[in-house]
Amino acid sequence: MSDVLISPSILSADFAALGQAVADVDAAGADMIHIDVMDGHYVPNITIGPDVVKALRPHSAKPFDVHLMIAPADPFLDAFIDAGADFLSIHPDAGPHPHRSLQAIRSRGAKPGLVLNPGTPANVVAPMIDLVDMILVMSVNPGFGGQSFIESQLSKIECLRKMIDQTGRNIVLEVDGGVNPQTAQRCISAGATALVAGSAVFKGAGTLSDNIQALRGPCARAAA
């Protein structure tokens, strides 16, 4: 596994062949599989539920990085963990008690994550940072793939990097939205340790392996 984790988002894959898409990006060198769950309420789109996650689970042994863009999230935590989520990330405004939600995720053996939308400040994490294994910075507004990177999120990544380092814990700092070989360099330089990429992996000019490696190239240079 590389120092910087690549988590291809199957939101950009062929929905008629999701199982094969998961197997293919696994074989192409992905470190995790990113699964976007949308409810048409918290975000203006609808994607998949726990039954689909369960059906995809046999197609890869890599960690399933499940991002819940749903509200309320609490009633569905158990279902997604039972379906095979390894990381399960929620938005702090997707329920009345995010602290309790993160505790519930960990109590079931999954790794809790907290997601920050572009308009959510970094300091929202502070009271809950000891409960998370992942912080996901959205560098686009959630709901659709293929959007352009929001530059203002780089300073948020830098701020979160300092907060994480002060804990002494190995918390994954992930970035999702408009990530391509060019923006990847900037995210990693700001302190990110994981990248979600959908269009850049599944719709890039090269093979899946080439597209994943293109993301690793700037990662490797930033870490050098």
Q: Report how far residue 198's alpha carbon sits from residue 203's, in angstroms, rounded to the nearest whole number.
A: 8
| Residue 177 annotated as binding site | yes
Residues in the chain: 224
| Residue 176 annotated as binding site | yes
Cβ(59)–Cβ(22) below 8 Å: yes
176 is catalytic: yes
Catalytic, out of 36, 39, 65, 74: 36
Q: Report how far residue 224's alpha carbon sits from residue 210's, in angstroms, rounded to the nearest whole number.
A: 21
Helix (H, G, I), strand (E, B) or coil at 6: strand
14 is catalytic: no
* Of the candidates 19, 10, 111, the residue with the CA atom closest to the CA atom of residue 60: 19
| Residue 40 annotated as binding site | no
| Residue 204 annotated as binding site | no
Beta partners for 69?
Answer: 38
| Residue 34 annotated as binding site | yes
| Residue 143 annotated as binding site | yes
Q: Which residue numbers belong to the known binding site for a divalent metal cation?
A: 34, 36, 67, 176
Q: Which residue numbers belong to the known binding site?
A: 9, 34, 36, 67, 143-146, 176-178, 198-199
Residues forming the active site: 36, 176
